[in-house]
């Protein structure tokens, strides 16, 4: 079986768990003996931020039939649900997110057991602080936050979007008030929240936070530039509709016009715009890659908010709950921007909001950041990525979003993808735009795992 090699996977949320599953299965198939080290500070592998919630109101925003961790086995997650307490599960169901976290953890556990004798797996509950290459062909030295080190032949960075940064609109006074939640997904972040609340942002994170904070006597305010909530999935979804117009090679203005025609055509034929948007999903990465840097920047500035509310939708049961909150005025939505904050009564906060009707002063008990503010990796708080950029082992991706890769393999400052260093998911957003949902991540995970195993076999050992 050759010399035993070492692969380190940094982060074992959804992306890291899927890569680890594929490496275990591929190593057995190829007869490749290796050590697999999973580095993740969380208590349970597979959950990460997205699936660590224990709130039953937090649902997957993708139907269960599209959530298998293996694209070639689309029914895997539904079958797992039927065997694990949800015997009536169907492909169209939007199930609790915590169940998906359990599915990933169980799938990884079974893959590790199945690879026993070929793959030795270690799990380290710490963070990675740095990754440095020891010389040509010598592999990497992975530096751990607890002071330890690991020597690795290959490294996979499944770090997700990274820590949420303090957004620019949050004034020093707000940060010092003790009434500001920077990261609503941090453990216990919302436990102390009392009274009325202002959510800055109105996407899927804001929806989850609003449901979590909903109670009689409390008003949850939400403000965003467009003042739009995510649209809802259909109760009985229709198949995706393929766009009849050629889209390849069009500049942004041409793409806008063609997509509008496509949506209008599908809406006339089916009475629903959703199949039109779903039909664009397989094309998104290719169309994004073909745009100029100027067109990409214009899309992010002018079109991304509208795209996101139609593309990243709420499950029907969630949409009904949000609708009830709005009908009873427990959730109030505004289009506008934050202009400032100052101390309010009883230790609360007064927010100045610029809206179409002018400047509005809103007194609340707490302010919660729901913008998902993830800065460019060069400005982020993650020492691992900062070190890789400083050493020239990584360079920022388009528009400073994520990093540049060659099929997931990091590009260095010299433009080459020479190191045995891969990433997937959120760090590839600048290159792919749509890269954080399971249907995209599972394809990337399979490709990265095969590339790692190919690399380990290149010297014939």
For residue 144, list its beta bridge partners.
128
> 195 and 107, same structural domain?
no
When the pLDDT of each residue in the chain is averaged and rounded to a whole number, the result is 93
User: Which of 344, 369, 394 finishes a domain?
Assistant: 369
Tokens at 202, concatenated: 């109105």
Do 328 and 193 have their domain in common? yes
Residue 403 maps to a domain: yes
Count of all residues that appear for the chain in the document = 461
Final residue of a domain: which of 269, 294, 309?
A: 309
Structure tokens at 402: 């994520």
The domain spanning residue 47 has which CATH number? 3.50.50.60
CB atoms within 10 A of CB 212: 17
Closest listed residue to residue 64, CA positions, set 49, 48, 52, 75: 75
Please tell me what DSSP assigns to residue 396: B
161 Cβ neighbours under 8 A, 6+ residues apart: 372, 374, 426, 436
C-alpha span between 114 and 108 (Å, rounded): 10
Assess contact for 413 and 392: CB atoms under 8 A.
yes
| Segment among 25-29, 61-65, 357-361, 378-382 with least mean pLDDT | 378-382
**Same domain for 264 and 221:** no
pLDDT at 254 over 90: yes
Residues 6+ apart with CB under 8 A from 390: none
Banded pLDDT at 1 (limits 50, 70, 90): very low
Judgement on whether residues 129 and 273 belong to the same structural domain of the protein: no
Residue 394 has pLDDT above 90, yes or no: yes
What mean pLDDT is predicted for residues 375-399? 85
Same domain as 20, residue 74: yes
Q: Which of 83, 91, 105 is nearest to 20 (CA)?
A: 105
Q: Report whether pLDDT(425) > 50.
A: yes
The predicted pLDDT at position 28 comes to: 97
Whether residue 221 is predicted with pLDDT greater than 60 in this model: the reply is yes
Q: Cα separation of 171 and 167, whole Å?
A: 9
pTM of the model: 0.93
For residue 243, is it within any domain? no
Number of domains in the chain: 3
Domain-embedded: residue 433: yes
378-381's contacts with Cβ under 8 Å and 24+ in sequence apart are 379/165, 380/162, 380/163, 380/165, 381/162, 381/163, 381/165
Evaluate whether residue 126 is within a structural domain: yes
DSSP state of 313: P
**133 and 275: one domain?**
no
**Together in a domain, 179 and 305:** no
Domain range spanning residue 429? 5-162+375-456
Q: Note the pLDDT tens digit of each residue in 325-368.
A: 999 999 999 999 999 999 998 899 999 999 998 999 999 999 99
- Residue 432 shares a structural domain with residue 363: no
70 and 151 both lie in a single domain: yes
User: Which residues fall within 8 angstroms of residue 252, CB to CB, at 6 or more apart?
Assistant: 291, 295, 298, 299, 303
Same domain, 17 and 120: yes
Same domain, 22 and 127: yes
- According to the model, what pLDDT value does residue 50 have? 84
| Alpha carbon distances (Å) from 315 to 63, 100, 267 | 8, 15, 20
Separation CA 102–CA 96 (nearest Å): 10
Residues 9 and 146 both lie in one domain: yes
Asked whether residue 460 carries a pLDDT value surpassing 70, the answer given is no
For residue 244, being part of any structural domain is answered with no
In this predicted model, what pLDDT tens digit does every residue of 237-251 receive, in sequence order?
999 999 999 999 999
Please give the pLDDT value at position 26.
97
Under the banding of pLDDT at 50, 70 and 90, the label for residue 48 is confident
**Predicted local distance difference test score (pLDDT) of residue 382:** 86
Domain assignment present for residue 361? The answer is yes
Final residue belonging to a domain, choices 264, 291, 309: 309
């Amino acid at each position: 079986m050759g010399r035993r090699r070492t692969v380190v996977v940094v982060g074992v949320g959804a992306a890291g768990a899927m890569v680890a599953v594929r490496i275990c299965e591929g190593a057995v198939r190829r007869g490749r003996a290796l050590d697999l080290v999973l580095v993740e500070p969380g208590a349970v592998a597979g959950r990460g931020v997205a699936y660590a919630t224990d709130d039953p109101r937090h649902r997957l925003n993708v139907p269960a039939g599209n959530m298998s961790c293996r694209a070639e086995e689309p029914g895997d997650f539904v079958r797992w649900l039927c065997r694990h307490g949800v015997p009536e599960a169907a492909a169209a169901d939007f199930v609790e997110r915590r169940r998906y976290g359990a599915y990933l953890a169980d799938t990884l556990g079974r893959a590790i057991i199945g690879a026993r004798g070929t793959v030795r797996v270690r799990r380290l509950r710490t963070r990675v602080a740095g990754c440095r290459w020891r010389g040509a062909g010598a592999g990497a030295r992975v530096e751990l936050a607890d002071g330890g080190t690991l020597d690795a032949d290959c490294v996979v960075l499944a770090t997700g979007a990274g820590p949420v940064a303090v957004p620019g609109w949050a004034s020093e006074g707000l940060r010092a008030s003790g009434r500001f939640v920077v990261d609503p997904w941090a453990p216990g972040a919302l436990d102390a929240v009392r009274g009325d609340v202002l959510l800055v942002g109105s996407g899927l994170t804001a929806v989850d936070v609003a449901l979590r904070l909903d109670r009689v006597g409390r008003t949850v305010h939400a403000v965003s530039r467009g003042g739009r909530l995510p649209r809802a999935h259909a109760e009985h979804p229709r198949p995706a509709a393929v766009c009849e117009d050629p889209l390849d090679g069009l500049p942004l203005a041409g793409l806008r016009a063609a997509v509008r025609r496509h949506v209008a055509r599908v809406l006339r034929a089916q009475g629903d715009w959703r199949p039109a948007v779903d039909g664009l999903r397989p094309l998104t990465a290719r169309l994004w890659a073909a745009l100029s840097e100027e067109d990409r920047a214009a899309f992010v500035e002018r079109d991304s908010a509208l795209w996101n509310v139609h593309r990243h939708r709420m499950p029907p049961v969630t949409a009904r709950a949000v609708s009830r909150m709005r009908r009873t005025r427990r959730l109030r939505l505004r289009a506008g921007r934050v202009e400032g904050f100052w101390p309010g009564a009883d230790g609360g906060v007064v927010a100045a909001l610029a809206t179409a009707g002018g400047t509005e002063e809103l007194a609340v008990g707490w302010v919660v950041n729901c913008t998902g503010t993830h800065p460019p990796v060069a400005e982020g708080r993650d020492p691992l990525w900062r070190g890789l950029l400083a050493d020239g082992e990584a360079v920022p991706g388009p528009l400073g979003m994520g990093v540049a890769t060659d099929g997931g393999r990091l590009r260095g400052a010299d433009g080459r993808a020479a190191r045995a260093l891969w990433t997937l998911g959120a760090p590839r957003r600048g290159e792919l735009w749509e890269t954080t949902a399971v249907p995209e991540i599972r394809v990337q995970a399979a490709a990265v795992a095969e590339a790692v195993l190919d690399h380990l076999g290149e010297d014939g050992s």
